[in-house]
Amino acid sequence: MSKPILGIDFGTTNTAGAWFDGNGKLRLVPVAEKSFLLPSVVWFHSAEKALVGQPARTQIIEDPRHTVFGSKRFLGRRFQSEYVDRNKDRFAFDLVEGPDGYCSVLMYGHVKPLAEVAHLVIAQLVAAASRAAGEPFAECVLTVPAHASFRQRNAIRQAAQRAGLEVRAIVNEPTAAALYYANLRNPEQTVLIFDLGGGTFDATLMSVVNRLVKVLATGGDAFLGGGNFDDRLAEHLVEEFERDRGVDLRGSKTVMQRLSFAAESAKIALSTQERTRIRVPCIAQKDGAFVDLDYELSRQELEEACFQLIERTASACEDVLARAKLRADQVDELVFVGGQTRMPAIRNRFGHFKRFSSEKDVHP
């Protein structure tokens, strides 16, 4: 009997994996109790030693200079590029140019390629998968954003190979979602895969006939993801704090990172409730004393702050439909993929489509 192949989704925010067991049943990789998501976060507590996942995520606040997160956005990108120049200062860790001209991080005086950071995350997932399966994995299939460049695909391939895996295939993320969708039932449908993850947005229109998937048109936004929603909400909090306390928080990367972290938690809470409270202690100093941020945020405020980001996803979808010469009412189903699609305002914005996939149909 052939050995199982591990499917790996290395994400900007979280990484996940799955495989088919000997009975043909799909198994998700458990990375913690009641969790199948491994935060794509690495905390270096020395030049050569690091923690990965949830223990590392807690260090985003405690030790932001040595905690690397959201690095997939810079993986396989030249350091001397407009995107890197525009975004590198948003993070408290030091993003630097590696010997090959591509993005690396500086940790305790050592330059570490981002492929090495990705390798640490993937290796952690592989270890968890091997424990769950009761045998080591030797092969994998990787998913990547549809618009990923050759260099970006190769960097993820190298990270998996360093973890001891032979890469059997690299599949575009929307195509992977469509293949999974096609195996849930045996439809003859036109589907639009709406994939909004932590760092990228892909919109892919496909026809599914007898489990055969054909791509009709693809598009999206390489620079739009859940992280942008967090940053926009953090900026809103900065504006409110400045109005209320007369203190501008924008001068500190560490403070902005703390705010983005708090914003993400608030955003998640507002997917299921109308209001939530955000508390960030000792966020600034005024008149010689520490000042806390304590703010009650409504879902309406979040939606207003992120309105333009939602419209960017709508514009990309309209462009994909136009290139395929189809209308929204000719699409049988809009399949939501990615944690950011849980935001009610996103689902409300696309109410003109016939049908949405529910979380029971396709887990985001």
What CATH number is given to the structural domain containing 134? 3.30.420.40
* Sign of the dihedral through C-alpha 305, 321, 204, 223: negative
Q: What is the pLDDT of residue 147?
A: 85
Domain assignment present for residue 51? The answer is: yes
- From CA 183, how far away is CA 133, in angstroms rounded? 23
Record the pTM.
Answer: 0.87
Beta strands in 151-211 (DSSP E): 166-172, 188-196, 201-209
- 231 and 128 share a domain? no
Q: How do residues 34-47 score in pLDDT, each as one tens digit?
A: 889 999 999 999 98
pLDDT tens track for 314-343: 999 999 999 999 999 999 999 999 989 999
Instruction: Report CA 207 to chain centroid distance, whole Å.
Output: 26
Same domain, 40 and 185: no
Residue 84 has pLDDT above 60, yes or no: yes
Strands 103-107 and 94-97: antiparallel
Same domain, 270 and 150: no
Reported confidence tier of residue 106, pLDDT bands at 50, 70, 90: very high
- Give the residue-averaged pLDDT of 20-31: 91
124 lies in the same domain as 13: yes
pLDDT, position 167: 97
- Asked if residue 70 belongs to a domain, the reply is yes
Is 256 inside a domain boundary? yes
Residue 153 has pLDDT above 90, yes or no: yes
* Other CB atoms within 10 Å distance of the CB of residue 40: 30
For the cut 90, the answer to whether the pLDDT of residue 261 exceeds it is: no
Q: Say which CATH number the domain at 250 has.
A: 3.90.640.10
Res 136: pLDDT: 95
In this structure, the answer to whether residues 220 and 236 fall within a common structural domain is no
Report, as an integer, the average pLDDT of 61-83: 92
Instruction: Say whether pLDDT at 312 is over 70.
Output: yes
pLDDT at residue 254 above 90? Answer: no
Query: What is the model's pLDDT at position 198?
Result: 87
Does the residue 99 lie in any domain?
Answer: yes
Pairing of strands 275-286, 103-107: unpaired
Domain that holds residue 24: 6-164
Whether residue 335 lies inside any domain: the answer is yes
Average per-residue pLDDT for the chain: 92
Residue 355 lies in a domain: no
186 pLDDT band, cuts 50/70/90, is: low
Mean pLDDT across 111-115: 95
Question: What does the pLDDT read at residue 82?
Answer: 92
Give yes or no for residue 185 having a pLDDT over 70. no
Cα–Cα nearest to 140, from 314, 5, 328? 5
Domain end call among 305, 325, 359: 305
In this predicted structure, the answer to whether residue 227 has a pLDDT above a threshold of 60 is yes
**Based on the domain organization, do 267 and 153 belong to the same domain?**
no
Q: How many domains does the chain have?
A: 3
